[in-house]
Structure 1
Amino acid sequence: MGWIRLKTSSTADRPVKDGNHLYDAKTKEESTEHIEIVNIHDDPASLSPAQIYPFQPRSIPEASLPFISASAILAQRTANRAQQRTWIVVDDVVYDCTDFVHEHPGGNDVIESFRGEDCSWQFWRFHNQEHLKKFGESLRVGRTNGAKNRFPEPKQFIGSCIIGCADEW
């Protein structure tokens, strides 16, 4: 068994460009053949919510969507405008409606008023499963638990009886 001595040789007596700097190849300074600039974000707060929670493919079932805490959803209500996303919650699924608000037939004010909140019962009063499938599936970014709706759901009446009432005639 023997030792191998690796020898570095300068291929030229001319200056060599390394990135934006020139150096003399005769000095045999160490250099790299490949330099890659990598941005590492140690602080997740420096990323926008859209980067952390991108739109999810339709093929992913709701149970497999990434979990987003209720506090992170509520934070969208008070976030600065540059990082603010219009996230709404319907049946514990988080939808990013930031771009969709301009296409919403009921206007953008309706969706904007529920940014960072649950709006399940309001959604189901005006929409059905078809609407959610057609427009909502492509807007899903995650799932949650515990997002609050600031409006209590009013009791529903049919005739003079409350729906779900156990009183029978």
Structure 2
Amino acid sequence: MGWLRLRHTLTVAGVKEESGHTTPARNKIGIYSKHGKDTAPATTSLAHVFQQEDFPFQDPSMSDSDLPYIDPSIVSFVDQQWHSSSEDASRKHLHVWLVIDNVVYDCTQFQREHPGGIDVIQSFVGQDCSWQFWRFHGREQMREYGRPLRIGRTSGIQNRFKEPPRYVGLSTLGEDW
């Protein structure tokens, strides 16, 4: 595929064009051939380009450290796409990724099977939900249901909620007791 070339490159700040000028990333990805004819429209939506990427499920026996690295900007893009789309019909074709302990899980198909319902999973699309996951699930559920859903590892994705403290044992009852 040496005859195809990326017209613009995507950076965290936006799209860096051949001229070196960076513009916002909205609808600026396109390819062209050396033959002088575009093989795709000049303004292809980022969501469409993202859908063409391949993020396959990884072998469950593979260790987390050996998983392919997924840049946090890609995971953030999944988050932005999901939360900027309000209609169920437009969300139907979007990825449903969760991050647990810096491992990315593709729950797109699994969300319908989740015993807690799809709302729980959809509320964390493209985000870290580590402590929330471990409050309701154990290693057995992760091994049986989670490991087959792994697509990669990432870093720098923060949980948007502060973990509340866990209380163990009895609290003091005060002087009336």
Per the normalisation by structure 2, the TM-score is 0.62
Q: Which runs of 5+ in 2 are unaligned?
A: 7-29, 32-45, 86-90, 173-177
SS of 1:76 mapped into structure 2:
helix
Aligned residue for 2:145? 135
Aligned residue for 1:56? 58
Query: What RMSD, in angstroms, separates the aligned Cα atoms of the two structures?
Result: 2.7
Aligned residue for 1:160? 171
Contact 1:85 1:98 in 2 (8 A): yes
Shift of 1:111: 0.3
Shift of 1:71: 2.1
Matched ranges for 1:6-85 at <5 A: 42=6, 46-48=49-51, 51-79=53-81, 81=91, 84-85=94-95
State how far apart, in whole Å, the 1-side matches of 2:144 and 2:71 are. 26
Q: With CA pairs under 8 Å and 6+ residues apart, which has the higher RCO, 1 or 2?
A: 1
The AA in structure 2 aligned to 1:55 is: F
Aligned residue for 1:144? 154
1:138/1:122 CA distance change after superposition, 3 Å = same
87, 109, 112: which one aligns with 1:102: 112
Aligned residue for 1:120? 130
Aligned residue for 1:34? none
Shift of 1:58: 1.3
Aligned length: 124
1:40/1:118 CA distance change after superposition, 3 Å = same
SS of 1:151 mapped into structure 2:
coil
State how far apart, in whole Å, the 2-side matches of 1:104 and 1:40 are. 41
The AA in structure 1 aligned to 2:109 is: D
Shift of 1:59: 2.5
Runs of 4+ residues deviating >6 angstroms: none
User: Which shifted more, 94-103 or 81-90?
Assistant: 81-90
